[in-house]
Amino acid sequence: MQVSFACTDHGLKAPRNGEHSKQNATSPNTASQARARFRTVALIARSLGSFTHRYHHNLKESTAKLTGMKYRNLGKSGLRVSCLGLGTWVTFGGQISDEVAEQLMTIAYESGVNLFDTAEVYSGGKAEIILGNIIKKKCWRAETERGLNRKHIIEGLKGSLQRMQLEYVDVVFANRPDSNTPMEEIVRAMTHVINQGMSMYWGTSRWSAMEIMEAYSVARQFNLIPPVCEQAEYHFFQRDKVETQLPELYHKIGVGVVSWSPLACGIITGKYENGVPESSRASMKPYQWLREKIMSEDGRKQQAKLKELAHIAEKLGCTLPQLAIAWCLRNEGVSSVLLGSSNPSQLTENLGAIQVIPKMTAGIATEVDHILGNRPHSKKDYHH
């Protein structure tokens, strides 16, 4: 399963000594050995107060006075999440030390990030352990969860909560369902973990619009709890689902988007402009598929477009990655964009995309569309 956590207090401030309440570790339960079937979103909460419902019906951003971070509702739920989150697939994927992982978590948290994404399959559960140890050491409050058939969902979530030393999470995301698990069972299991206090909301990850609608229909038919959000890949070169399929679901049933891979596995950073550097991710054996993608004809065309986009970034006084992240956030249905960083300087640069959001005017968006040449046909323009 996948776990993410976010601070429910949308007025985040930089942490001070003694500001946080200590989180009691969960009682030792037998950890689940089942394979991960879902992703979980855990949310760090500064206070024990209830979720903010004041902005329940709109996606208008509120800006933290001290950090500059902006917060949006998760779909049409009352849960507020930072518009930038930290994904631990790269961060805690076994490529960096625990010390650097803590530095990255601290930079993100002190910058106002309240959404952290992980999964039990990342380094065989090590990512969850590292994440939990950091949360406990820092005395941050947090939450978590996971699963897909009823057994895997419930046992998987219990295992994640134990590894992360948490009592509950705010959101759990179910990975794309397999054909062997009835939708009713998935929705009932997610409803169960919410009713048991292990999570507050649930969402989907890489589901089709049809599957999400099926889950919603099942929830309504049997008086169960429907999903509030979908995790989807979204960047310059992957647009159709987020821009044409999910907006309709957002307006009809309130399902928002947490997007991932805003830099297309590093392709949009520009570091592959002249091939694949030896120190890059694409040079590693597990990422042979990424290397082939970069070296393909389409990959070379993408690099040519990125050169043109770099001129727009220069005009706006930002880097290409910052432009790419701010571009993702221009979509009203995107609640948060998950960042993947392997070092503090990279994370700090990516967080700087917050300052670029006001510069993402309709004119700039049109320039980007002209260069990309891949804007999906849709009934409505979903730009701000």
Q: Which residues are catalytic?
A: 122
Residue 80, amino acid: R
Distance CA 166, CA 232 (A): 26
Residue 3, beta-bridge partner list: 40, 118
- List, in order, residues 6 or more apart from 3 with CB less than 8 Å away: 39, 40, 41, 42, 117, 118, 119, 120, 128, 144, 145, 146, 160, 164, 169, 172
User: Measured between alpha carbons, how far is residue 155 from residues 1, 143, 151, 160, 264 in Å?
Assistant: 10, 16, 6, 9, 32
Distance CA 51, CA 93 (A): 31
- List, in order, residues 6 or more apart from 292 with CB less than 8 Å away: none
- List, in order, residues 6 or more apart from 300 with CB less than 8 Å away: none
Return the structure tokens found at 384. Answer: 């701000």
CA angle 120–121–126, rounded 5-degree value: 65
- List, in order, residues 6 or more apart from 95 with CB less than 8 Å away: 342
